[in-house]
């Protein structure tokens, strides 16, 4: 069957615009099984949050190829808030990945006007997990004035491949916050797109990662500014070591009519070994004159003087690297709004031995 064959090789994380010629950086190709098993979560539904809600199709950062593929088999959960409802406790979805057969899960959030919700997804691994692939799709609609924070924690263990797609459409004055913590995973693909459709809507992404060994992190963050006076902010901080590879795509796309909009992206990456591969593609597209887009990057190595200062207090080089790597994750973990999850993640970071080679 033709569809099956196509599904075996997906084009994901494609940069907006076709004209870019960077070799093999415009998009990523991932080979996947033609079908997947539905992946069920352990779910804590906060009081007052209803299941249901209907969403029109919403694009994500991973792209249409991925959407088509994951929609066939994913276990779907859908929730909706009521108008003006401030949901006090977070909606928690915990996935205990066992590996083996490819598994897929989708989540849809319909946030009604003026409502507030926090969603925490924990992509955790089972202790004796087989290598495997887990695929996720999270699509959100934020009606006027709605505010949603989405926290996704990648800690499935060293053997997993994770495909993670997020897409949101924001109406007037809506606010969408994303916190991504990538702590491990053999290869991780994250696509995250926010369509700032309504005037004065805003999108904020905080990304922190540690990529080590031969692991790969391939990301695609996209802010589509359609409405007037919309704002986006994409902040990424991470550490690469050993032979890790990271590709960060960050696009701020000002569409015609997005007058008065502002977009900022900032990357701060620490390279711990000469053998890492670090690629960054910041892209600011302007079809509108009255906009402001900024990009900043700090790419650092641990400097010798700093290293000696820390060593002189009795900490050996490996531990210094580990402390610095953990510090980046810890800084991002402090943004997790739920105390229990935050502490759990901090314990995980604390216990997480950065592998020494």
Which of the residues 265 through 294 are near another protein (CB under 8 A)? none
Question: Counting contacts by CB under 8 A, is residue 40 touching another protein?
Answer: no
Question: Counting contacts by CB under 8 A, is residue 308 touching another protein?
Answer: yes
Question: Counting contacts by CB under 8 A, is residue 2 touching another protein?
Answer: no
Structure tokens at 212: 């080590």
The backbone torsions φ and ψ at residue 233, rounded to the nearest 5 degrees and listed phi first, read: -150, 120
Question: Counting contacts by CB under 8 A, is residue 82 touching another protein?
Answer: no
Select from 175, 230, 328, 333 the one that contacts another protein (CB under 8 A): 328
Closer CB to another protein, 40 or 350, in the complex:
350
Contact assessment for residue 277 and residue 242, using Cβ atoms and an 8 Å cutoff: no
Closer CB to another protein, 274 or 304, in the complex:
304
Contact assessment for residue 179 and residue 150, using Cβ atoms and an 8 Å cutoff: yes
Question: Counting contacts by CB under 8 A, is residue 306 touching another protein?
Answer: yes
Smallest gap, in angstroms, from Cβ of residue 234 to another protein? 20
Question: Counting contacts by CB under 8 A, is residue 297 touching another protein?
Answer: no
Closer CB to another protein, 249 or 328, in the complex:
328
- Count of residues of this chain found to bind another protein when the rule CB under 8 A is applied: 20
Structure tokens at 350: 């604390």
Quote the CA–CA distance of 90 and 122 in Å, as a whole number. 12
Sole residue written with tokens 């779910």: 43
Closer CB to another protein, 243 or 352, in the complex:
352
Question: Counting contacts by CB under 8 A, is residue 343 touching another protein?
Answer: no
Quote the CA–CA distance of 28 and 220 in Å, as a whole number. 10
- Cβ contacts of 237 within 8 Å, gap of 6 or more: 207, 208, 209, 267, 268, 269, 328, 331, 332
Burial of 22 (C-beta count, 10 Å sphere; 0-12/13-18/19+): exposed
Sole residue written with tokens 């190829």: 65
Quote the CA–CA distance of 163 and 73 in Å, as a whole number. 14
Select from 290, 316, 343, 347 the one that contacts another protein (CB under 8 A): 316
Going by C-alpha positions, the residue among 268, 263, 312 that lies closest to residue 286 is 263
Closer CB to another protein, 5 or 312, in the complex:
312
Smallest gap, in angstroms, from Cβ of residue 47 to another protein? 34
| 6 SS3 class | helix
DSSP annotation of 171: -
Closer CB to another protein, 55 or 302, in the complex:
302
Closer CB to another protein, 89 or 268, in the complex:
268
Question: Counting contacts by CB under 8 A, is residue 327 touching another protein?
Answer: yes
Question: Counting contacts by CB under 8 A, is residue 127 touching another protein?
Answer: no
Question: Counting contacts by CB under 8 A, is residue 310 touching another protein?
Answer: yes
- Complete DSSP assignment for 151-168: EEEEE--TTEEEEEEEEE
Question: Counting contacts by CB under 8 A, is residue 305 touching another protein?
Answer: yes
Closer CB to another protein, 247 or 325, in the complex:
325
Question: Counting contacts by CB under 8 A, is residue 351 touching another protein?
Answer: no
Select from 88, 277, 331, 340 the one that contacts another protein (CB under 8 A): 331
Quote the CA–CA distance of 255 and 269 in Å, as a whole number. 29
Beta bridge partners of 141: 110, 169
Select from 2, 5, 18, 312 the one that contacts another protein (CB under 8 A): 312
Q: Between the CA of residue 87 and those of 114, 284, 288, what are the distances in Å?
A: 11, 35, 37
Smallest gap, in angstroms, from Cβ of residue 250 to another protein? 21
Closer CB to another protein, 117 or 207, in the complex:
207
Closer CB to another protein, 230 or 333, in the complex:
333
Select from 82, 98, 285, 315 the one that contacts another protein (CB under 8 A): 315
Going by C-alpha positions, the residue among 275, 129, 152, 133 that lies closest to residue 209 is 152
Question: Counting contacts by CB under 8 A, is residue 317 touching another protein?
Answer: yes
- Cβ contacts of 141 within 8 Å, gap of 6 or more: 55, 56, 58, 109, 110, 111, 168, 169
Interface with another protein (CB under 8 A):
304-306, 308-317, 319, 323-324, 327-328, 330-331
């Amino acid at each position: 069957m033709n569809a099956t064959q196509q599904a075996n090789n997906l084009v994901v994380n494609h940069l907006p615009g076709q004209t870019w010629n960077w070799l093999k950086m415009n998009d990523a190709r991932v080979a996947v099984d033609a079908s997947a098993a539905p992946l069920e979560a352990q779910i804590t539904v906060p009081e007052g949050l209803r299941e249901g809600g209907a969403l029109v199709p919403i694009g994500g950062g991973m792209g249409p190829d991925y959407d088509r593929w994951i929609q066939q088999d994913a276990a779907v959960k859908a929730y909706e808030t009521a108008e003006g409802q401030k949901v006090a406790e977070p909606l928690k979805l915990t996935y205990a990945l066992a590996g083996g057969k490819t598994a897929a899960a989708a989540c849809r959030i319909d946030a009604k006007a003026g409502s507030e919700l926090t969603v925490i997804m924990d992509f955790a691994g089972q202790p004796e997990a087989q290598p495997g692939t887990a695929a996720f799709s999270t699509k959100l609609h934020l009606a006027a004035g709605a505010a949603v924070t989405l926290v996704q924690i990648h800690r499935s263990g060293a053997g997993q491949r994770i495909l993670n797609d997020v897409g949101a459409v924001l109406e007037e004055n809506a606010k969408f916050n994303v916190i991504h913590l990538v702590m491990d995973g053999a290869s991780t693909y994250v696509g995250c797109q926010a369509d700032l459709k309504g005037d004065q809507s805003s999108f904020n992404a905080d990304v922190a990662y540690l990529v080590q060994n031969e692991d790969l992190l391939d990301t695609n963050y996209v802010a589509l500014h359609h409405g007037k006076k919309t704002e986006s902010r994409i902040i990424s901080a991470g550490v690469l070591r050993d032979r890790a590879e990271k590709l960060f795509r960050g696009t701020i796309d000002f569409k015609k009519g997005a007058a008065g909009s502002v977009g900022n992206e900032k990357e701060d990456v620490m390279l711990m070994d000469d053998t890492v591969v670090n690629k960054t593609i910041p892209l600011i597209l302007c079809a509108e004159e009255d906009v402001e887009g900024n990009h900043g990057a700090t790419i650092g190595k641990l400097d010798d003087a700093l290293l000696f200062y820390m060593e002189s207090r009795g900490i050996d080089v490996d531990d210094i690297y580990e402390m610095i790597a953990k510090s980046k994750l810890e800084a991002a973990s402090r943004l997790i709004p739920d105390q229990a999850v935050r502490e759990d993640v901090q314990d995980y970071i604390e216990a997480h031995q950065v592998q020494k080679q």
